[in-house]
Structures are given as C-alpha cells and as structure tokens.
Amino acid sequence: MLLAQTGLTAALAVIFWGLDDAVSGYSALLGGLTAIVPNGFLAARLMLPRRDPGAGALLRAAYLGELGKLVLTALMFGVVFALVRPLAAGALFAGFIAAQLATFAGFLARGKSRDSHRIGDRTGNTDNRNGD
C-alpha cells in the first residue's frame, strides 16, 4: 500500500511539475508525503512484534498508531505551511488526497478480489468432496 502511495505521489508530482511549474511539483510531493509518512507510522505500529500477541494488544497498537497518524499529519501540515515558501496549496492538497485515495482504492480492490474468489467458489467449484 505504501509503495502504491509513493508511486502515485511521485507520478503526480512529475505531472504537476510538467504541466505547471516546480512549485506545484514539490507541493504535490509534499502533500503526498504528508499522507505517506503517517501511514508508514501506523503500518510500523501494527507490524512490529509485541510482547502480548493477543487481540487486545493489536487493538491497542491500532488505536495508538491511528492517534499517532493523526498527530503526525497535523504536524507535517503545520511544518509545511510554516516553512515552505512559495507553496501551491491546491497541488499540496491534491497530492495528499491522491495518496489517501490510493489507500481506499487498495482496500476496495482487495475486497473485490476476495469477493470474486468467494463467488467463484460457490458457482464454479468442481471439487467434489462427497466422493460422487
């Protein structure tokens, strides 16, 4: 998921750079990074080994990861708006939104592929386990 977001962000930055100017290009790149870095933090929180392998520990990690993701996103936007001049706000938010939509598109695609496997199992299952 993070690789898809990174690729989309890089492509969008190049498109903005080519169609408009360097300011739009790096603004789109910064917008995408403002989504990617916090998502990477959440992924790391969920993937790191825990002392307690139970569901409660995973849920705690998810809550803390999501809280950290929100804080990092707000901090990164604050840093970008405070330190980066000039900045193309439209390109910045386009990069951020595109990177976020890549996450949702990945979840939708994953869900559809699982649904198609389930439908195929119900309709085209040739495995005869009854011995007939």
Question: Is pLDDT above 60 for 119?
Answer: no
Domain contains 131: no
Nearest-5° Cα angle at 3, 64 to 27: 85
Total tally of structural domains belonging to the chain: 1
Per the structure, the complete domain to which residue 27 belongs is given by 2-121
Share of the chain above pLDDT 90, in %: 62
d(C-alpha 80, C-alpha 74), whole Å: 10
Q: What pLDDT score was predicted for residue 47? A: 87
Q: What pLDDT score was predicted for residue 19? A: 97
d(C-alpha 122, C-alpha 4), whole Å: 32
Task: Over range 48-56, report the average pLDDT.
Answer: 79
